Amino acid sequence: MLFSLHKSPSSTSWGSNEMLKRPVITSTKRFLLTPLYRSNSIMATSISTNSFSTLNKEEEEDGVSNQPEPIIQKTTQYPLQVAKRLEKFKTTIFTQMSMLAVKHGAVNLGQGFPNFDGPDFVKEAAIRAIKEGKNQYARGYGVPDLNSAIASRFKKDSGLVVDPEKEVTVTSGCTEAIAATILGLINPGDEVILFAPFYDSYEATLSMAGAKIKAITLRPPDFSIPIDELKGAVSKNTRAILMNTPHNPTGKMFTRKEMDTIASLCIENDVLVFSDEVYDKLAFEADHISIASLPGMYERTVTMNSLGKTFSLTGWKIGWAIAPPHLTWGVRQAHSYLTFATSTPMQSAAATALRAPDSYYEELKKDYNAKKAILVEGLKSVGFVVHPSSGTYFVIVDHTPFGLDNDVAFCEHLIQEVGVVAIPTSVFYLNPEDGKNLVRFTFCKDEETLREAVKRMKQKLKVLV
């Protein structure tokens, strides 16, 4: 990213009489950061701001402009500075695509946040908590009522009974739960296995921990786990497997057979599992299974989840990690020095949300199934090859019928020429080539938005091959 540094308007009074006359070079400099993208340097433009001399009346009458004309002294480029462990990572693809959506007036089916609001009963609980004065630091590992609600919900969903005081840690979103788990339990040089494509935070956080990353690639159309490859990858050197089901970005749900294989390999080789289950309530074609519920797995599993996806409140950033005490210790140690505590009134409201009746979740699935049908049928009618999605609110498609070289080129064309945003999936692989034919759409939007996106694509996308 390139930043242009401009003079601060606050550095002098542009409304004063003195500033109606032409400034002449002096010494003091001030700067403002303005982002300019696609560069690895910062441009600093220094501008004189005080000790002005002015032109006399005769010079003004001779036609010399009396408007301020700051004189640029020097332009210097500074290299962006970042720790080596993060050098390969750029501005997240979600940020980039959302900015382009605004710039081009595009329909954003890229980043996975709803364009509709969460339920009133949860928002009202947050307002009530604020008015009741629940506005100071919360207990580090969670407001007691929320910890209890998480434990109760987990018991109902998985059959597992956990201690809310010793085995539940509230975090600032699932992304922080992931970070606290990795930074609290992974040492530099530890080997961690991922399933590609994967949520981009995984690789970045593992890099911060100094982990050695292995990726098992899931391939279309069904993105099933290559069992023999997984068996060959797991060894006594493996510290953990990081998994996500239902799976972002593919919409895949890990089968019971696949999970049994993962479990047996972990038990045999004394491997931990970090299980990201934020889409557990968006499982459309089969019941969600928490791997912690499999025999012999709870004592080696950290289960991570959040409020945002299920209740359309992604901006609240309420997440949690469930683990046995010997693993919770590491998670909490990292959490203490990452965020220490999470928003107090929002935790109180989250407890209310998690006690919602089953009818809420049934209606949620029904609503998302309708949205999914609109998008999937629309994408097929446009000419995409649409791969099956059993969970999450994402759909993966093959864009190659439209003749663009790769996923990035296609997504740029889609934004600029069609007015729709999708996410190029190559950013979710260790080897970007593995994802060059695929892009991800989301259907967590209202039906009008989804229909408008399909309409634009039908009008402007043409199948070439």
Residue 292: left if φ>0, alpha if ψ -120 to 50, beta else—which one? alpha
CATH topology of domain 90-116+359-460: Aspartate Aminotransferase, domain 1 (3.90.1150)
- How far, in Å, CA of 385 to CA of 109, rounded? 17
Q: For strands 438-442 and 394-398, give the pairing.
A: antiparallel
Block means of pLDDT (10 residues each) for the chain, 465 residues, are: 35 37 37 36 43 42 55 77 88 82 92 94 98 98 98 98 98 98 98 97 96 98 98 97 98 98 98 98 95 98 98 97 98 97 98 98 97 98 97 98 96 95 96 97 97 98 83
Handedness of CA 409, 415, 419, 424 (dihedral sign): positive
pLDDT at 17: 39
Distances (CA, A) of 101 to 39, 315, 412, 461: 20, 19, 10, 18
Contacts of 356 (CB under 8 A, 6+ apart): 119, 121
Is 98:106 a contact under the CB 8 Å cutoff?
no
Output the furthest CA–CA distance in the chain (Å, rounded).
93
pLDDT at 76: 85
pLDDT at 88: 85
pLDDT at 91: 79
pLDDT at 212: 98
Nearest to 1 by CA among 36, 44, 43: 36
- How far, in Å, CA of 187 to CA of 65, rounded? 65
What's the predicted TM-score (pTM) here?
Answer: 0.84
Q: Which CATH class is domain 120-355?
A: alpha beta
- How far, in Å, CA of 322 to CA of 319, rounded? 10
Check residue 432 and report its DSSP letter: G
Nearest 5 degrees, angle CA 447-CA 448-CA 450?
65
List the domain boundaries for the chain: 90-116+359-460, 120-355
- How far, in Å, CA of 328 to CA of 331, rounded? 5
Q: For strands 319-322 and 238-244, give the pairing.
A: unpaired
pLDDT at 87: 86
pLDDT at 51: 39
